[in-house]
Amino acid sequence: MSLTKITNIDALELEDGVQNAAFQEDEDRPHSEPAIVSFTGQEEVAYTQIKPYAGMPKEVLMLYSKQARYRVPREILFWLIIVCTLVLIGVTIAIVALSPRCLSWWQVSPVYQVYPRSFKDSNADGVGDLKGIKEKLSHFDYLNIKAIWISPFYKSPMRDFGYDVEDFRQIDPLFGTMQDFDDLLASMHDKGLKLIMDYIPNHTSDEHIWFQLSRNGTEPYKDYYIWVNCTEDKPPNNWVSVFGNSTWEYDETRKQCYFHQFLKEQPDLNFRNPLVIQEMTDIIHFWLQKGVDGFRMDAVKHMLEAKHLRNEPQVDPDQDPSTVDTEFELFHDYTYSQLGLHEILTNWRVEMDIYSREPGRHRFMVIESYDYEEIEKTMRYYGTSYATESDFPFNFYLLDLPDALSGNRAKELVDVWMKNMPEGKWPNWVVGNHDKPRIATSAGREYVRAINMMLLTLPGTPTTYYGEEIGMVNVNVSVIQDPFGKFNPNNSRDPQRTPMQWSDKINAGFSDNETGTWLDIAPDYDTVNVEAQQADSNSIISQYRTLSLLRGAELALSRGWFCYVRSDTNVFAYLREMDGKQNAFLVVLNFGEDTETDLLSVSELPDVLTVHLSTTPINQKTFSKSRIPTSKGQGLLLQYSTNKRFHSNHASECYVSEKACYFPALDILYKC
């Protein structure tokens, strides 16, 4: 049986110039003549009078698409795409699984501490302020620094220069307004800078509204602070404050004693009261919602005290108890690092992590706790295997380097941190801050460059106190402002807090106030200033900048292995290397006298090392590893290329926070 299908060619609109012979116009055939296609049974017979062409109708396309010569290539292409897609997904998953965690902003950049009273004065009152910081944001760009820690600028009576807070949600008028803060934060974020605030949980000012209501017995503030029964002339126990004398102060209004571990104008909060914890947690949320990038948590070891109020044991049992009036004369078994402290800090970490979910917006948490020889207490602030606490606690051990300056001492202080740090954690290094003498004074000007080189080439995050990048020194101020110094002039912190030296202009470019500044300007400001040093390629600030840029550019320095090579009376030497990277660095620091170092026994080093940077001018561009001369206070950064890895054969001398290898073919890192 045969069927006939008629297709009207008039339905196909052909344009002039179509080259398909089957569709050339035939003037001899009437336009109404149909094209006939026959089908036998259910079997379709192909068009015989036309070939495939561009723009063919659906009916023609469907006929040709089923032919093997068209169907097979199409199916091959389809399955090839599927296979390639699956391979690409698999490779992506493998790369993600094998890639080490990316470094966060607080690991990539040094942290720079700004003491706002002394950084830059914008309104000529002799005191630094927030607008002044904003004016100098380009300074951080120059130094390749992205993380800025600003000391307190809360509303305060300034008994302890901002560490006595009257209102945690207000800016002190001395520093500006909340709008000034918002403008500063926005400008910082526009430049890719991060702002770390000082958070002061242990105490408030006695002018804080909470304390005023607490001393009056007003609920719920009655127990916001620590009150005990006592008499005016007899404190409850022998506890001594950080600033000296008793930690107890009798209050005439409440007829009780309140507890203070710092000044009597800084009463301690009662963190055994859940309402206080919630109040302080709300303050964290307030600033995080404004967009701050992290907190430096001040004096946390003081936050809890033993309830029993027993006397603390004396360091010298034979000392007359009536003469005990400084913190170092007691063992602080009942006032420092009490049970429950880490639970509070861990919960704050959880609250901060809520704001860290956005990529690139990790909220940083660093702890301040001077634990001296009890380093295990400091390490506890890293958290545990089941609960994260701070990103790191500040490492203050290098502050002791000037006490016995030598290569051996430098290694000892570095090693005390590296040996005790929990596995996989991130180290950090501090050589100066607002509480300690400047390194240029305590160690000596001749060692500043080498110490900065050490700071920027050790593994982990370096912290730089303002002015250390130009080698500022302590200043003997004419009038003591520091309350600690008023109790004991030898302990005054004013000398390391003097105004930043920007130029050789009036007040070192810090302020236009013609009557002076809040603390004296250093007499050497005409030569030791930012402007002069930026013009000198061999200056302290130029070398600091070079090392900061190199640290950010070289994987070996930013996240590679750290290995001890040599230490003696004069020299401290170590390696920085990365698996898969031929390029590596040897750092040789002289903290003693002129000497020559022989590293011939270090087989992993090539015979010739290239000078990448010397802190003192030298003509020699290469050194033999058997003869590396250094002068007093000199730092050498030597570069070399080798496939040999030192850490493979010296595991006990090497450390890395997270192992990673470099794959040069794809220019990627992978776990190894």
Which of 166, 249, 327, 368 is an active site residue?
A: 368
Q: In this structure, what token pair is assigned to residue 235?
A: 């404190």
Biggest distance spanned by C-alpha atoms of the chain: 133
DSSP code per residue over 564-575: EEEE-SSEEEEE
Q: In this structure, what token pair is assigned to residue 50?
A: 């036309």
Q: Tell me how many degrees the CA angle 664-666-672 measures, rounded to the nearest 5.
A: 65
Q: Is 329 designated active site?
A: no
Cβ neighbours for 650, distance < 8 A, ≥ 6 positions apart:
563
Phi, psi of 484 (to 5 degrees): -65, -40
660-668 contacts at long range (C-beta below 8 A, 24 or more positions apart)? 660/100, 660/559, 660/578, 660/579, 661/578, 661/579, 661/580, 662/555, 662/578, 662/579, 662/580, 662/581, 663/580, 664/580, 664/581, 668/95, 668/99
Q: Is 368 designated active site?
A: yes
Closest-CA residue to 342 (of 296, 378, 306): 378
Token pair 């470094």 is found at: 103
Which of 164, 298, 482, 579 is an active site residue?
A: 298
Closest-CA residue to 624 (of 644, 646, 643, 596): 596
Distances (CA, A) of 432 to 377, 452, 463, 532: 21, 11, 8, 23
Other C-beta atoms lying within 10 Å of the C-beta of residue 574: 26
CA 567 to centroid of chain Cα atoms: 29
CA dist 60 and 56 (Å) reads 6
Tell me the residue type at 328: F
Contact assessment for residue 636 and residue 591, using Cβ atoms and an 8 Å cutoff: no
Tell me the residue type at 643: N
CA dist 133 and 188 (Å) reads 10
CA dist 227 and 297 (Å) reads 24
CA dist 434 and 429 (Å) reads 15
DSSP state of 20: -
Query: Residue 52 pairs with which residues in a beta bridge?
Result: none
Distances (CA, A) of 200 to 29, 168, 176, 286, 483: 99, 9, 20, 14, 18
- Strand extents, DSSP E, 145-247: 147-150, 154-155, 167-171, 194-199, 227-228
Active site members = 298, 368
